């Protein structure tokens, strides 16, 4: 639904026509740059979630003064898609962001819309259940876990599940949930590179590595990494528009740098990126050690044939750690690119902000538009997902060790 509202700009006291595509959130935050005086107006539209009826509009934290029809350029607002701010009416190219992206991206744009719908549907229907289910998994509360698994997988859940069935089922649920919003290649290829069996895969070394992990530490890692995914879910409307930007990159179609995202979720997304960066850096040494065990037969032997202990990897500065991560051809350089340290440092600075007038991130030594920033945050979801795979393998390897010891008795 589209709402055409004329408001008084508090900057120039003139009327401005705003054409708002009402999104799926009952409270929709956006900003408008006044076409007359260039003031940035922060707005909040409240609608009835079921009927779509408008309940209120605030401009700069005050109830908006709404007018009848006024002579004014139209400002387009889309909460879900990047827009072309230069298009001032529907008749101009770019006047409809939907048609504009369809024109540039073709069928993949349709596919993306339906994927986002699938993700949104899954999240609304079952994310809270999956979170609860995950809690039982981390605590090894198998009675309750199996009860949830039966609900989630219905006919697909065996009567007498094995430990492997359980590890597989809960991680498959995460993959099914997040697959629709991973627009760039990455996770699936990394996962395959990590665990694809090869003739020289050293299972014994991997089992020894897994055995060195205390149960509490594994549970903590799984809970913390899941917590990052949960934050992505809670903030999904903030980063959905970034997926469209990512789609342009993935398809090699130029994303016009003048296009805007008319939401302003900078602070929330900054914090989400920061927590993803910190948590990922905390657990990336486990990923590297697992890979080292599989390929080189020693968790502390790195691909450059240097020995590094777990504690030295933990205390290393991230600038040095990312050089080591880069040694893993199949996923290292990509992950270093995604966990952009320069971005992390720049937005941590207290002056960092989203300049609504220029549509750029203002931060020391950073040259980035807001849509590029949102795309980077959206893409980072893949890293915690990969790290959860690592701890799944740690647990499977721990259990198979116990099992083979038992058989050896
Ligand atoms: Zn104005």
- Of the candidates 128, 131, 247, which has an alpha carbon nearest to the alpha carbon of residue 182? 247
Per-residue confidence (pLDDT) for residue 68, from 0 to 100: 81
| Degrees to nearest 5, angle at CA 279 with 243 and 167 | 85
Residues in the chain, total: 409
The Cα 259–Cα 253 span in angstroms is 14
Beta bridge partners of 32: 41
The rounded Å distance from CA 214 to ligand 1 centre is 61
pTM: 0.93
The rounded Å distance from CA 37 to ligand 1 centre is 4
Please list all protein residues whose beta carbon sits less than 5 angstroms from ligand 1, which is an ion. 9, 11-12, 34, 36-37, 39
Tokens 């219905």: give the residue: 154
The rounded Å distance from CA 38 to ligand 1 centre is 6
* Both tokens assigned to 307: 């020995």
Per-residue confidence (pLDDT) for residue 23, from 0 to 100: 76
Per-residue confidence (pLDDT) for residue 9, from 0 to 100: 93
On whether the CB atoms of residues 31 and 356 are closer than 8 A, the answer is yes
Q: Is 317 exposed, middle or buried (0-12, 13-18, 19+ CB in 10 A)?
A: exposed
R_g of the chain, CA atoms, integer Å: 24
Per-residue confidence (pLDDT) for residue 406, from 0 to 100: 62
Beta bridge partners of 78: 21
Q: Is 385 exposed, middle or buried (0-12, 13-18, 19+ CB in 10 A)?
A: buried
The Cα 178–Cα 385 span in angstroms is 9
Beta bridge partners of 17: 6, 74
- Of the candidates 321, 327, 328, which has an alpha carbon nearest to the alpha carbon of residue 344? 321
Tokens 């959130």: give the residue: 25
Q: How many CB atoms lie within 10 A of CB 374?
A: 28
The rounded Å distance from CA 100 to ligand 1 centre is 27
The rounded Å distance from CA 12 to ligand 1 centre is 4
The Cα 240–Cα 367 span in angstroms is 22
- 3-state SS, residue 365: coil
On whether the CB atoms of residues 245 and 359 are closer than 8 A, the answer is no
The Cα 204–Cα 297 span in angstroms is 8
The Cα 355–Cα 345 span in angstroms is 18
- Of the candidates 311, 294, 286, 281, which has an alpha carbon nearest to the alpha carbon of residue 380? 281
The rounded Å distance from CA 89 to ligand 1 centre is 18
Residue 66, φ and ψ in degrees, nearest 5: -95, 140
| Degrees to nearest 5, angle at CA 280 with 398 and 221 | 35
- Tell me 307's DSSP state: B
Beta bridge partners of 8: 15
Q: Is 278 exposed, middle or buried (0-12, 13-18, 19+ CB in 10 A)?
A: middle
- Of the candidates 83, 84, 82, 71, which has an alpha carbon nearest to the alpha carbon of residue 36? 71
The rounded Å distance from CA 347 to ligand 1 centre is 29
Binned average pLDDT, 10 residues per bin, the chain of 409 residues: 88 91 84 92 88 87 85 85 81 83 95 93 94 95 94 86 94 93 86 85 94 95 98 96 95 94 94 97 96 95 96 92 95 95 93 94 93 96 96 94 63
The rounded Å distance from CA 33 to ligand 1 centre is 8
The rounded Å distance from CA 98 to ligand 1 centre is 27
Per-residue confidence (pLDDT) for residue 363, from 0 to 100: 94
- Of the candidates 205, 216, 255, 309, which has an alpha carbon nearest to the alpha carbon of residue 83? 255
β-strand 74-78 against 15-21: which pairing, if any?
parallel
On whether the CB atoms of residues 383 and 335 are closer than 8 A, the answer is yes
The rounded Å distance from CA 90 to ligand 1 centre is 21
* DSSP H or E segment with residue 382: helix 382-408
């Amino acid at each position: 639904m589209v709402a055409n509202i004329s408001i008084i700009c508090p900057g120039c006291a003139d009327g401005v026509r705003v054409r708002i595509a009402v999104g799926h959130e009952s409270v929709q935050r956006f900003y408008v740059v006044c076409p007359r005086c260039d003031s940035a107006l922060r707005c909040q539209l409240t609608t009835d979630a079921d009927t779509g009826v408008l309940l209120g509009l605030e401009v700069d934290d005050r109830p908006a003064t709404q007018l009848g029809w006024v002579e004014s350029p139209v400002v387009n607002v889309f909460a879900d898609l990047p827009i072309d701010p230069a298009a001032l009416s529907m008749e101009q190219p770019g006047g409809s962001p939907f048609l504009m992206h369809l024109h540039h991206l073709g069928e993949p744009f349709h596919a993306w819309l339906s994927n986002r719908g699938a993700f949104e549907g899954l999240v609304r229907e079952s994310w809270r259940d999956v979170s609860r289910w995950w809690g039982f998994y981390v605590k090894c509360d198998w009675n309750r876990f199996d009860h949830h698994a039966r609900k989630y997988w219905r006919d697909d859940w065996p009567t007498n599940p094995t430990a492997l069935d359980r590890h597989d089922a809960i991680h498959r649920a995460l993959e099914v949930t997040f697959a629709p919003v991973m627009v760039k290649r990455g996770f699936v290829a990394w996962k395959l590179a990590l665990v694809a069996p090869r003739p020289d895969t050293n299972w014994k070394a991997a089992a020894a590595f897994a055995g060195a992990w205390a149960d509490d530490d594994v549970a903590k890692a799984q809970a913390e990494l899941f917590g990052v995914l949960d934050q992505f879910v809670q903030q999904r409307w903030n980063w959905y528009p970034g997926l469209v930007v990512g789609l342009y990159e993935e398809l090699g179609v130029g994303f016009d740098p003048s296009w805007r995202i008319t939401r302003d979720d900078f602070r929330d997304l900054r914090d989400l990126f920061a927590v993803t960066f910190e948590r990922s850096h905390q657990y990336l040494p486990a990923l590297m050690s697992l890979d080292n065990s599989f390929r080189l037969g020693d968790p502390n032997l790195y691909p450059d044939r240097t020995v590094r202990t777990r504690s030295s990897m933990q205390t290393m500065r991230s600038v040095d750690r990312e050089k080591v991560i880069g040694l893993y051809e199949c996923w290292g350089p990509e992950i270093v690119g995604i966990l952009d340290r320069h971005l992390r440092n720049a937005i941590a600075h207290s002056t960092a902000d989203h300049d609504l007038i220029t549509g750029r991130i203002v931060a020391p030594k950073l040259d980035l538009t807001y849509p590029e920033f949102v795309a980077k945050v959206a893409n980072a979801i893949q890293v915690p997902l990969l790290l959860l795979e690592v701890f799944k393998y740690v647990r499977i390897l721990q259990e198979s060790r116990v099992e083979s010891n038992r058989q050896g008795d």
